[in-house]
Amino acid sequence: MEQVQGTRRIKIRQYRLLFALQIAALLCLALSLAAPNLAKEGLAIGELGTPTLSVAPFALIAASVLLLLWMRLWLRREVEAAGAEAARQVALLQVDPLTGAMTRRIFMDALKAATRPHPAGEPCSLALLDVDHFKSLNDSFGHNVGDFALTHLVEVARRTLPGALIGRLGGDEFAVLLPGCDETTALARMEEFLSALKTPTFAANRQLNLSASIGLVTAPRQTSFFEEMILLADLALYESKRRGRGRATLFDPDMLRIKRNRRMIERDLRAAIMLDELDLHYQPITGADQTILGVEALVRWKHPIRGMIPPAEFIPVAEEGALIDMLGEWVLRRACQDLEDLPGRFVSVNVSPSQLRRNDLVEVMKTVLRDSGVAPHQLVLEITENVSLLSIPEVLGRIQSLRTMGIVIALDDFGTGHCTFNYLRSLPVDIVKIDRSYISRLADDPVSRVFVSAVLEIARALRLSVVAEGIETPEEFSLSRAAGCTRFQGYLLGRPSAKPDLIGRAQAQISTRQDSLALTA
């Protein structure tokens, strides 16, 4: 665009020069006609000796005048076009062409001005916004729907947040400046915006359920520096995402401590993977008679200073970056190596959503199986119930390819995500693991009972195995057995333990069983 503008400017300059030369030439010609001695030369002597006026110089003058008029018109048109183009460029710098929101630069200027020390001490709040699962939306429904979502968000913000300045910082990241709002008012206003955004809308004949994650910070109470406002609002935004998205969170100084902790985990975890300092524990998955059918591999990290760090703390940190790929491959290799010593016929390995997004996942699995000599049907991959992920065709295709290879797929923690029963029919899975929260409430919660029997009913029809997770008491064990579950996992049947402990326990179990068989014989 700028190149076109530049060429146009050069052309205008050249034509202006030509225009000036033409005028100069015309003036010379006119002068030469007017000057008496020169004028004589302009008169030719006719045959009869009467001087006749030659038409050539006049024709030349007329042509030049016409040319000059044309050039003048052309010049004016070009100058106007260049002006309009320049105005458009300025507008482009100020307004995002897709959504009509302010551009990043202009928004930052406005934020800088708003956070300058105010004599009246009037507060202002900054909200950073991210459209939830925007990448999945784009991947699954196409960029037109993605564009629609962004435009819709700005429309809703304009409608529900009068007086606010709305900026698009890039991609699906937006910022809202709420002048005169302290944190309480800002939170209330942003929550109002969120609930309006969550009202279903339609694009390309599809119902869209949009939501956003929001981080909020207030000046001057929390900071008066505009760069710091962005950083703090970003931390609050991260917290909103971590707590399940679709919500607004106010910045809290504790978030800075959490961030430092996250950084430390990331650095030390990388070192732990490289130095082979992680460990795998295995938890038995049994049949109704408590015989071990297989085991689930659960990663363990004993930090040299901080001691045991639970996976719930470090897996999400690993998932934020590329570390999860390293970790995932390490777990897979170790589990496959250990399998031949382990009790049961299979090993179940947890796979993170970000691993499923990897193009080379199938290749990695093939390589690990080949290197370890494990048969595909001995490996179960546990994927979590995640609607936005499982609706991406590439991800589904990858899971299908793994299944075609003979690897068994289990849907972990079923009931905690948002997969409807309908999903069970379409997902390429072999096993459903009912989340512990339903199993632990089987005794006293009718809703959990209805849920568990509905899952079992569908699983029977689809020929899926069902694992009851988190069995802690004999009552939970018998209730889930009575409901129709065929596989069981939980502290009652065996806690996750290191390979040697599990092998020892399994051998003890076998000899006890043999003793009791001998006694009854």
CA dihedral in degrees (477, 482, 485, 491; nearest 10)?
0
299: contact with ligand C2E by CB under 6 A: yes
User: Contacting ligand C2E (CB under 6 A), which of 294, 343, 344, 470?
Assistant: 470
**Terminal alpha carbon distance of the chain:** 92
Q: Whose Cβ is closer to Mg ion: residue 115's or residue 352's?
A: 352
CA–CA gap between residue 124 and residue 179 (Å, rounded): 4
| Mode of pairing for the β-strands spanning 173-179 and 124-131 | antiparallel
Q: How many residues would you count in the chain?
A: 521
- Contact string 394-413 vs Mg ion (x = CB under 5 A): ------------------xx
- Contact string 293-332 vs Mg ion (x = CB under 5 A): ----------------------------------------
353: contact with ligand C2E by CB under 6 A: no
CA–CA gap between residue 482 and residue 487 (Å, rounded): 12
CA distances in angstroms from 390 to 52, 262, 379, 386, 464, listed in the order given? 96, 28, 20, 6, 18
- Contact region with Mg ion (CB under 5 A), list: 56-64, 273-281, 376-384, 392-400: 376-384
Pick from Mg ion, ligand C2E, none: which does 325 bind, CB < 5 to 8 A by kind?
none
CA distances in angstroms from 376 to 279, 373, 406, 409, listed in the order given? 23, 9, 5, 11
Pick from Mg ion, ligand C2E, none: which does 343 bind, CB < 5 to 8 A by kind?
none
The residue type found at 13 is R
CA–CA gap between residue 369 and residue 379 (Å, rounded): 9
The count of other CB atoms within 10 Å of the CB of residue 487 is: 20
- Contact string 240-259 vs ligand C2E (x = CB under 6 A): --------------------
CB 272 within 8 A of CB 278: yes
**Phi, psi at 87, each rounded to 5°:** -65, -40
413: contact with ligand C2E by CB under 6 A: yes
Pick from ligand C2E, Mg ion, none: which does 215 bind, CB < 5 to 8 A by kind?
none
CB of residue 330 to ligand C2E, shortest distance in Å: 9
Pick from ligand C2E, Mg ion, none: which does 490 bind, CB < 5 to 8 A by kind?
ligand C2E
Q: Interhelix angle for 393-405 vs 134-141, to 10°?
A: 80
Q: Whose Cβ is closer to Mg ion: residue 197's or residue 315's?
A: 315
- Contact string 313-342 vs ligand C2E (x = CB under 6 A): --x---------------x-----------
CB of residue 298 to Mg ion, shortest distance in Å: 8
The residue type found at 257 is R
CA–CA gap between residue 283 and residue 277 (Å, rounded): 20
CA–CA gap between residue 512 and residue 420 (Å, rounded): 43
User: Contacting Mg ion (CB under 5 A), which of 350, 440, 489, 497?
Assistant: 350
CB 276 within 8 A of CB 169: no
CA distances in angstroms from 180 to 184, 252, 499, listed in the order given? 11, 20, 61
412: contact with ligand C2E by CB under 6 A: yes
User: Contacting ligand C2E (CB under 6 A), which of 119, 304, 310, 393?
Assistant: 310
Pick from ligand C2E, Mg ion, none: which does 132 bind, CB < 5 to 8 A by kind?
none
385: contact with Mg ion by CB under 5 A: no
- Contact region with ligand C2E (CB under 6 A), list: 60-68, 104-112, 185-193, 464-472: 464-472
- Contact region with ligand C2E (CB under 6 A), list: 64-72, 110-118, 465-473, 504-512: 465-473
- Contact region with ligand C2E (CB under 6 A), list: 52-60, 134-142, 243-251, 487-495: 487-495
User: Contacting ligand C2E (CB under 6 A), which of 216, 237, 298, 336?
Assistant: 298
96: contact with Mg ion by CB under 5 A: no
Q: Whose Cβ is closer to Mg ion: residue 96's or residue 338's?
A: 338
CA distances in angstroms from 196 to 188, 249, 304, 449, listed in the order given? 13, 17, 49, 35
379: contact with ligand C2E by CB under 6 A: no
- Partners of residue 219 on adjacent β-strands: 124
CB of residue 161 to ligand C2E, shortest distance in Å: 38
CB of residue 164 to ligand C2E, shortest distance in Å: 39
Q: How many residues bind ligand C2E (CB under 6 A)?
A: 21
CB of residue 502 to ligand C2E, shortest distance in Å: 13
H helices present in 321-429, as ranges: 323-338, 353-356, 361-372, 387-390, 393-405, 421-426
In the structure encoding, which two tokens stand for residue 172, read together? 């699906």
Nearest to 407 by CA among 348, 338, 466: 348
Residues near ligand C2E (CB under 6 A): 283, 298-299, 310-312, 315, 331, 350, 352, 382, 412-413, 436, 470-472, 489-491, 496
Residues near Mg ion (CB under 5 A): 350, 382, 412-413, 469
